[in-house]
Structure 1
Amino acid sequence: MEETKESFTFKGVAERLTLGVTRILENMPGVVDVRLVEREPAEKRSLLSWEQKNTCILPEDLRDFYLTTDGLALTWSVKLDNECVPLGSMMIHSVARLCPLLQPVSLFSLPNAPSLADLDWEEDDTQSGTRNAAAPPHFDSRSRIFEMDSCGGNGKVCLVYKNCAPGVVAQRSDIWFLDRSLCWHLLTATFTSYYRLMITHLGLPEWQYAFTPYGLSPQAKQWASLYQPLTFSSEPNFADPAGDSHLNKLDPTKAFKGKAKTPVLKKKQSPQCSLGSAAKSQGGAGRHGGGRR
Structure 2
Amino acid sequence: MEDTKDAFVFKGVAERLTLGITRILENMPGVVDVRFAEREPAEKRTLLFWEQKNTCILPEDLRDFYLTTDGFTLTWSVKLDDECVPLGCMMINSVGRLCPLLQPISVFSLTNAPSLADLDWQESSSETGLEPAPSAPHFDSRSRIYELDSCGGNGKVCLVYKNCTPGVVAQHSEIWFLDRSLCWHFLTATFTAYYRLMITHLGLPEWQYAYTPYGPSPQAKINLPSLVSAVPHFHQITPICFAMPSSLLPLYISYLVVIVHCLFLSLLCFMPDVPFPHLSAFAVLYFLFPICNVICKFFSV
Write the deviation string for residues 153-196 of structure 1: whole angstroms up to 9, x where unpaired. Answer: 01000000000001110000000000010000000000000000
Q: Does 1:64 find its partner at 2:67?
A: no
Report the equivalent of 2:46.
46
**Would the alpha carbon gap of residues 133 and 159 (structure 1) be closer, same or farther in structure 2, given more than 3 Å must change?**
farther
Q: Distance in 2 between matches of 1:40 and 1:159?
A: 22
Counterpart position of 1:129: none
Q: How many residues align?
A: 225
Distance across 1 between alignment mates of 2:104 and 2:94: 21
Shift of 1:134: 2.2
Q: 2:176 and 2:26 mapped to 1: Cα distance? A: 30
3-state secondary structure, aligned to 2:97: coil
Q: Which has the larger radius of gyration?
A: 1
Greater helix share, structure number: 2
Counterpart of 1:229 in structure 2 is: 235
1:215 partner SS: coil
- Indicate the SS of the match to 1:6: helix
Q: Does 1:95 align with 2:101?
A: no
1:84 is aligned to 84
- Structure 1 residues 221 and 35 mapped into 2: Cα distance closer, same or farther (>3 Å)? closer
Q: How far apart are residue 229 of structure 1 and its match? A: 2.5
Residue 35 of structure 1: aligned partner? 35
The equivalent residue for 1:219 is 222
Once the two structures are superposed, residues 94-116 of structure 1 have per-residue CA deviations (whole angstroms, 9 ceiling, x without a partner) of 00100000011235544433111
How far residue 219 of structure 1 moved from its aligned partner, in angstroms, is 3.0
**Is the Cα contact below 8 Å between 1:75 and 1:88 reproduced in 2?**
yes
Task: Compare relative contact order (CA 8 Å, sep 6+) and give the higher one, 1 or 2.
Answer: 2
- Find out whether 1:189 has 2:173 as its counterpart: no
Distance 1:192 1:223, change over 3 A: farther
For 2:67 and 2:39, the matched residues in 1 are separated by: 11
Alpha-carbon separation, structure 2, partners of 1:231 and 1:31: 12
Equivalent position SS for 1:229: helix
- With over 3 angstroms needed to count, the CA separation of the structure-2 counterparts of 1:16 and 1:140, relative to structure 1, is same
Matched, 1:17 2:17: yes
* 1:173 partner amino acid: S
**Unmatched segments (≥5 aa) in structure 1:** 124-131, 233-293
CA RMSD of aligned residues (A): 2.2
TM-score, with length taken from structure 1: 0.72
| Partner Cα distance (1:158, 1:133) in 2 | 19
Aligned to 1:144: 144
Over 3 Å counting, the alpha-carbon distance change for 1:173 and 1:133 in structure 2 is farther
Percentage identity across paired residues of the two chains = 79
SS of 1:185 mapped into structure 2: strand
What's the counterpart of residue 267 of structure 1?
A: none
Amino acid at match of 1:219: I
Specify the alignment match of 2:178 in structure 1. 178
Determine if contact 1:205/1:220 at 8 Å carries over to the other structure: no
Whether contact under 8 Å (2:80, 2:227) holds in the other structure is: no
Aligned partners of 2:8, 2:222: CA distance in 1, in Å? Answer: 38
In structure 2, stretches of 5+ residues that fail to align are: 124-131, 239-301
Tell whether the 8 Å contact from 2:71 to 2:93 is kept in structure 1 after alignment: yes
